[in-house]
Amino acid sequence: MTRAVDAVEPMIIELDPAGVAQRLTLTTRIWPLSERRRRGVAEVSSGIDDRGRLTIRLGARLFVAGPVGCRWLDRDITRLQFAAEPGDSISLARRLGRFPWPTPFKINWLGGATPKWKRFVYDRLTWRKHDGATLEMVWRGHLWFYRNSGWVDMYDTRLHRACVRGGAPHGRGAMSAPAPVAMQ
């Protein structure tokens, strides 16, 4: 199931006091960006370039997301509202994992229903710029199957994979607040 995201819709990114990207709000859902560092997941950091645009850095590549509309501080968390630039294409796709697995020994000691099956679900954000640069982020979460209600989303997504293709190298483009490592 793929859904095009309205490029005019404002998005919000949250930064901690050190400038590390914590969460991205897109299509009324919050997507975590800062997780424990795992193999195969690039470091995510962000900042604002000299033209007032939000930049997202993944490893050695820099992706220019779009102009920052407003910013505010809420309990040491900086929130930046930004929008995509004209000509950008943003899509959000959901794919179910191939193999569900049974959970026959799962017991709820407090009573209530227990899931009979579990499976992974993958959400993929693909952001293509008019110049060919592409930001791709994949989150992985769980679906649990209950006998009475069917498959239920657990909303426990974690950033699984992220990459930038065709973006500017790390050294190019001035950033006013480069952020340190986000995934520790």
Mean pLDDT computed over 31-36: 75
Q: For 129-179, write each residue's pLDDT tens digit.
A: 988 999 999 999 999 999 889 999 998 889 988 889 886 665 444 444 433
Q: For 113-129, write each residue's pLDDT tens digit.
A: 889 999 999 999 999 99
Could you give the C-alpha distances from 106 to 112, 114, 126, 142, 157, in angstroms and in order? 12, 7, 36, 16, 21
pLDDT at 81 (0 to 100): 92
How many CB atoms lie under 10 A from the CB of residue 118? Answer: 17
Q: Are 19 and 46 in contact (CB under 8 A)?
A: yes
Q: For 53-85, write each residue's pLDDT tens digit.
A: 999 888 788 899 999 999 898 888 889 999 888
pTM of the model: 0.81
Residue found under tokens 């004209």: 86
Q: Tell me the β-bridge partners of 72.
A: 79
